[in-house]
A = this chain, B = another copy of it.
Amino acid sequence: MEKELVFGHQNPDTDAIGTAIAYSYLQNKLGYNTEAVALGEPNDETAYALKEFGFKAPRVIKTAANEVKAVMLVDHNEPQQSVPDRDQVKVTHVVDHHRIMNFTTSEPLYYRAEPVGCTSTIVWEMYQENGVEIPQNIAGLMLSAIISDTLLLKSPTTTDKDHAAVEALAKIAGVDYQKYGLKELKAGTNIADKSEEELIDLDAKSFSLNGSEVRIAQINVVDLPEAMERKKAFLTAMETAAKENNYALFMLLITNVLDSDSKALVVGSDSAKAKFEQAFGKNLVDAEASLPGVVSRKKQVVPPLTEAFE
């Protein structure tokens, strides 16, 4: 069988990388010939999870069509979040937990989406549906992905299925998920040794909202005031990135993973900033707004912004 690549979105997080590895393993067991790769290097949190369960970081690719004819996507479907030459390859499988947008195929495919907290939760179900045993180290990686996406089951995206998956996977992986989860999340919050330019690109996604290019980045921290000391430098870096990439709006969500509160920093055109204010019912004061309880880009940021831009 001809080889296919499996990968998550650009600026990969633990779901994008961990689920690509877990899904590739499952598909190979089912008779496909796949390799899990990534569209970028792992972030600190993902690196921690990979090391904890004995994995090396997947090979990073910049293009797909140079080596395969077909690919499988996990944790994304929107073209601007995928490999740049995705229109040159056939997408045969998608497993995802996001809205569907600008995703088009010329032929039928396998598409599995569920509105759950993490793609690994869906892949966990698929292992069971297909009667494939989950190896201990893969279970650890899938557990790490769910902990990451749901902020240890505290994000409003969390469902009963995510809870069930975490319980089951922790058992297979042989870890106490509360203890391990806090260690994993904290591993991703060390921002001291990174530049503002790096931080605003680490977990950033672009969305095309009614024709406007909107960039939404998120940083996890354990100390919000400490992060806000760098506000001016963040705004400068965001202004530059917005100009270079023609973003109508660049929003940085700085989230305290311990108490699930966020601050938003926002740059962009006056009309786009007005749409931000409309979306969240908050005035931007000095390019900043408090968003208490907002931790999920997908569930709490993209939908109100999409509506405001319509």
Q: When chains A and B are docked, how far (Å) is the Cα of A303 from the Cα of B90?
A: 13
Q: Are A98 and B102 in contact (CB under 8 A)?
A: no
Find residues 257-310 in chain A having any chain B CB closer than 8 Å to their own CB.
298-299, 302-303, 306-307
**A109 and B115 contacting across the interface, CB-CB below 8 Å:** yes
Q: List B contacts of A112 (CB < 8 A).
A: 111-113
Mark contacts of A101-124 with chain B using CB atoms, 8 A cut-off: 1 yes-contact digit, 0 otherwise. 111111111111111000000000
Chain A stretch 81-109: residues in CB contact (< 8 A) with chain B: 97-109
**Which residues of chain B are near A114, meaning CB under 8 Å?**
108, 110
The answer to the question of A176 belonging to the interface, with a C-beta cut-off of 8 Å to chain B, is no
Q: Do residues A99 and B110 form an inter-chain contact, with CB atoms below 8 A? A: no
Number of copies: 2
- Interchain CB contact (< 8 A) of A115 among B110, B302, B307: B110
* A298 x B108 contact (CB < 8 A): yes
Chain B residues whose C-beta falls within 8 Å of the C-beta of A101 in the assembled complex? 104-105
Q: How far is the CB of A120 from chain B (nearest CB, A)?
A: 15
Chain B residue with Cβ nearest A125: B129
User: Of B102, B106, B307, which one neighbours A106 at CB under 8 angstroms?
Assistant: B307
A97, A114, A302: residue with the most chain B Cβ atoms closer than 10 Å: A114
Quote the shortest CB–CB distance from A210 to chain B (angstroms).
11
Q: What is the CA–CA distance of A113 and B103 in the complex, to the nearest angstrom?
A: 14
Instruction: From A97, A113, A306, A307, name the one whose CB has the most chain B CB atoms within 10 angstroms.
Output: A113
For A102, list chain B residues within 8 Å (CB): 104
- Residues of chain B within 8 A (CB-CB) of A306 are 106
Shortest beta-carbon distance, A110 to chain B, in Å? 5
- Contact status A109-B105, CB under 8 Å: no
Q: Which chain B residue has the least Cβ–Cβ distance from A304?
A: B106
- Smallest CB-CB separation from A130: which chain B residue? B129
Q: Could you tell me if B108 and A99 are in contact, using CB atoms closer than 8 angstroms?
A: yes
When C-beta atoms are compared, the residue in chain B nearest to A117 turns out to be B108
A109 to B99 alpha-carbon distance, docked (Å) = 7
A30 CB to nearest chain B CB (Å): 13
Would you give the shortest CB distance from A307 to chain B, in whole angstroms?
7
Whether the Cβ atoms of A99 and B103 lie closer than 8 Å is: no
Given contacts A100-B103, A103-B103, contact A110 B108 (CB under 8 A): no
Interface members, chain A 105-157 (any B CB < 8 Å): 105-115, 129
Closest to A306 in B: B106
24 contacts between A and B (CB under 8 A): A97-B108, A99-B105, A99-B107, A99-B108, A100-B100, A100-B103, A100-B105, A100-B111, A101-B105, A106-B302, A106-B303, A106-B307, A107-B299, A108-B113, A108-B114, A108-B298, A108-B299, A109-B113, A109-B115, A110-B115, A111-B111, A111-B113, A112-B112, A112-B113
The 9 closest A-B pairs by CB, nearest first: A108-B115, A111-B113, A99-B105, A106-B306, A129-B129, A100-B105, A101-B104, A111-B111, A110-B114
Which A residues are closer than 8 A to B by beta carbons? Answer: 97-115, 129, 298-299, 302-303, 306-307
